[in-house]
Structure 1
Amino acid sequence: MSSSQLERQEIISIAPLLNRLAHSNAVDISPDEIASTFKLLLSNRVSNIQSASFLSLLAYTGKDGQADVIAKCAYYMRDAACQIDQSSLHDVVKAKGEPKGDYKGGLCDIVGTGGDSHSTFNVSTAASIIASPILMMAKHGSRAQTSSSGSADLLKAIQPTAPNIDAINERNIVEVYQETNYAFLFASNFHSAMAHINPLRKALGIRTIFNLMGPLVNPLDWAIEARVVGVAHQSLGPVFAEALKEGGVRNALVVCGEENLDEISCAGPTNCWKISGPKQMSVQDDGSSENSAQAPVQIDVFQLHPSDFGLPTHPLASVFPGRNPKENAIKLMSILRGEVSPGDPVLDFVLMNVAALLVISGVCESDASDAEPNGQAITERGPGGGRWKEGLRRARWAIDSGRALTCLERFIEVTNRLPREC
């Protein structure tokens, strides 16, 4: 074993920081101190008992709910993830992405924190698939943590053949994008540092800062052009907006249904925080990064309602099609095959969230004379200046044309050709 390997395994005591967290008001503890300790946890340099104490004290002091702490910890978690060849990915996304309106053809994601206790349908996963004929999608997800059906659980339950999401990794993700607009980045395949942390989280039995990390640690974060992030509690809305802004995100919509739902609600108002501004970094043709001109980044706050999409409301009780992945997968495939009647509560629920992603991506800003998919663009604007009804029109087209189903079938085919590694 080399000296560098021994050094990596050396355990470091964080007792001084724990004492300050436990015996003071923690005001003098900086986000950088917390993030540096968080980095040590990721590299397995802290004992289990001190790691558990650290995570518990962050929750007790409320430090893990601060935007700057979340942003800095998310940075280190992304840095610890398996790294993808940026130049190769840039080339394939540039070749395959279809710019339209204000959308430049880059990768997009739609994801929620989970933990809202509503156990509704897998909206963000379904929405990511339906959006894929129009946008290049990089859906980040995992197994269920706080519900009965997580995004990975849903995809694994698709019949007769499920996508082989276990086979996708940093070495073949570019190959996947060469053949399809859609990719699912299974968190356990890309965040190997979590292997030693997950048993500790499970044993600890409380929500920790890791429960907030999912929407912020997409392994392709540097290449994400637009995203929708759902949060499970109203207080997290402004926190996540600030964390995304601090992390360099310049095009995102944070949403929280009035019922503390981490999706755009089908039952009534949804509170929204829109982050907009010039991208802080851009990836060049050679894969290098370049700073763009700096300008103010805005966070606009507004509400969305189903009526803004031209849809009726549906009670949340109507969007529980199944309590397990198999039933939810059956519903998903029925939607994609066009077997679900217009006005179905789950269909409307999903369509609104697809529409929001399309609006935030900028694709709905294309001129009426250039309205793709075929049809007359709806130019009406709603809250936050978004063309929400136009987003819905395009979302319906993705299903009605059969293109969303085709994209999923292509993803299934491609991933099942990938080698199954031991």
Structure 2
Amino acid sequence: MIQNAVKKLTEHKDLSYNEVVECMREIMEGRADDLAISDFLLALKMKGESVDELKAMFDVMNEFSIKIRPIVNGRLIDTCGTGGDKIKTFNISTASAFIASAAGVNVAKHGNRSMSGVCGSADALEYFGYNLNTEPEDVKRCIEELGIGFMFAPKFHPAMKNVANARKQLGVRTTFNILGPLSNPANVNAQIVGVSDPALIDKVVTLLQRIGREEAMVFHANDGLDELSNTCINQIAWLKNGTINKFVLNAKSFKIGIAEPADLSVMSKEESVEQTFRVLNGTANEKRTGAVLLNAAASLIVANKADSFEDAIELSKKAMHGGGAYKKLKALIKSCGDVSVLEGLEKRWQNS
């Protein structure tokens, strides 16, 4: 099937939903070799993925994933970016997830090691002492009891090991870089997603609508970030009540620190983790804090905790400056990791 699909794709013809499902099942079940997978992914990338094709791939990824269904009051959300931006920032979306949780949002954070940046969410949390091999039931318990949990993508998507070699050999971004952040194993009902390519905004928000998200924001910063940025204008598509609306957001409209791209960039994993730590414990500078507050605010809005960015930013500030965000991080590490690692970092960084 994959060979026929590749031929059709190279003729710039869209595949049907069922054709993609059949190809994806071959891949997820380990019946396709690396060359066939590479050809399929590259042909799909060159043609450009349709929403139907993305939906079919998402459905099969979901079918083969390990799922959890946390029982919570209110919405369950995720915060993530698709990666691929040129500015190697610290872990903005990870920090914003803990601030949102401290503000009363239920967060099922789904992430992986870095694919394009300096430090992915999994890299950062592992550095803090989190056990990436935490069992699904323990993640579910953390979400229910602490208001936040972390799902390491390879743990919850074991069938994705069948595409690892092909993706590595291709060395370019593929459809899986789009689908990964959307394939949350906890079936969140609201989400914020950053994209580094503005052409993806419409595709991603439409896909989120098709897969049943109640509310979502998909955004791209004009500085190239796959986050909301406090350096520039942000383009946003907002899915709410079944309708998608578009608008632009200027960070200068709010009472937060305004930055230049260089203010948000880091050179190493350790620097990224340290800056994430400092944002959460309230010792980061206003420029880095501003970027995180903007993204945390979007999380609060889609979680129905605030109606506007102004209100959501103020709630996020209270969660951060009151120590709640850092307490959430520490509680998560204590529950699913080695808290002595985080305490060692406290001693090192709080005295510097």
Normalised to the residue count of structure 1, the TM-score between the two structures is 0.76
Match for residue 323 of structure 2 among 392, 399, 402: 402
- Are 1:21 and 1:57, in contact at CA under 8 Å, matched by a contact in 2? yes
Match for residue 108 of structure 1 among 77, 81, 85: 77
Match for residue 172 of structure 1 among 130, 138, 146: 138
After alignment, is 177-186 or 114-123 more displaced? 177-186
Distance 1:329 1:362 in 2: 29
> Which residues of 2 match residues 12-411 of structure 1 at below 5 A?
14-22=2-10, 24-27=11-14, 29-62=15-48, 64=49, 66-84=50-68, 86=69, 89-90=70-71, 93=72, 97=73, 105-133=74-102, 134-158=104-128, 162-164=129-131, 166-221=132-187, 224-277=188-241, 297-311=242-256, 313-320=258-265, 322-341=266-285, 344-365=286-307, 387-411=308-332
Runs ≥4 residues deviating over 4 A: none
- Are 1:68 and 1:246, in contact at CA under 8 Å, matched by a contact in 2? no
- Are 1:80 and 1:191, in contact at CA under 8 Å, matched by a contact in 2? yes
Distance 1:51 1:336 in 2: 41
- Are 1:32 and 1:69, in contact at CA under 8 Å, matched by a contact in 2? no
Distance 2:289 2:138 in 1: 33
How many residues in Structure 1 have an aligned counterpart in Structure 2? 338
What is the aligned-residue RMSD (CA, Å)?
A: 1.8
Computing the radius of gyration over CA atoms, which structure comes out larger, 1 or 2?
1
Determine the structure 2 residue equivalent to 1:373: none
- AA at the equivalent of 1:315: E
Considering fraction of residues, name the structure with more helix.
Answer: 2
Distance 2:135 2:183 in 1: 15
SS in 2 for 1:199: helix
SS in 1 for 2:275: helix
Distance 2:55 2:312 in 1: 30
Q: 1:312, CA displacement in angstroms?
A: 5.0
- Are 2:34 and 2:165, in contact at CA under 8 Å, matched by a contact in 1? no
Q: 1:17, CA displacement in angstroms?
A: 2.4
- Are 1:139 and 1:184, in contact at CA under 8 Å, matched by a contact in 2? yes
Q: 1:310, CA displacement in angstroms?
A: 2.7
Q: 1:178, CA displacement in angstroms?
A: 4.3
- AA at the equivalent of 1:73: M
Q: 1:39, CA displacement in angstroms?
A: 2.5
Q: 1:46, CA displacement in angstroms?
A: 1.5
Q: 1:416, CA displacement in angstroms?
A: 2.5
In structure 2, the CA distance between the partners of 1:30 and 1:128, relative to structure 1 (3 Å rule), is same
Identity, in percent, stands at 28
Distance 2:165 2:122 in 1: 19
Distance 1:32 1:250 in 2: 26
- Are 1:72 and 1:247, in contact at CA under 8 Å, matched by a contact in 2? no
SS in 2 for 1:197: helix
- AA at the equivalent of 1:157: Y
Determine the structure 2 residue equivalent to 1:287: none
Distance 1:339 1:25 in 2: 52
In structure 2, the CA distance between the partners of 1:417 and 1:154, relative to structure 1 (3 Å rule), is closer
Q: 1:199, CA displacement in angstroms?
A: 1.7
Q: 1:338, CA displacement in angstroms?
A: 2.0
- Are 2:90 and 2:264, in contact at CA under 8 Å, matched by a contact in 1? yes
SS in 1 for 2:125: helix
Q: 1:106, CA displacement in angstroms?
A: 2.5
Distance 2:22 2:250 in 1: 41
Distance 2:238 2:175 in 1: 23
Distance 2:271 2:256 in 1: 25
- Are 1:169 and 1:190, in contact at CA under 8 Å, matched by a contact in 2? no
SS in 1 for 2:306: helix
In structure 2, the CA distance between the partners of 1:48 and 1:307, relative to structure 1 (3 Å rule), is same
SS in 1 for 2:136: coil
In structure 2, the CA distance between the partners of 1:39 and 1:401, relative to structure 1 (3 Å rule), is same
- Are 1:256 and 1:272, in contact at CA under 8 Å, matched by a contact in 2? yes
In structure 2, the CA distance between the partners of 1:41 and 1:260, relative to structure 1 (3 Å rule), is same
- CA offset digits 1:60-102 (Å, max 9, x no partner): 222x2x2221122112111111133x3xx32xx2xxx4xxxxx
Distance 1:167 1:178 in 2: 19
Distance 1:309 1:357 in 2: 16
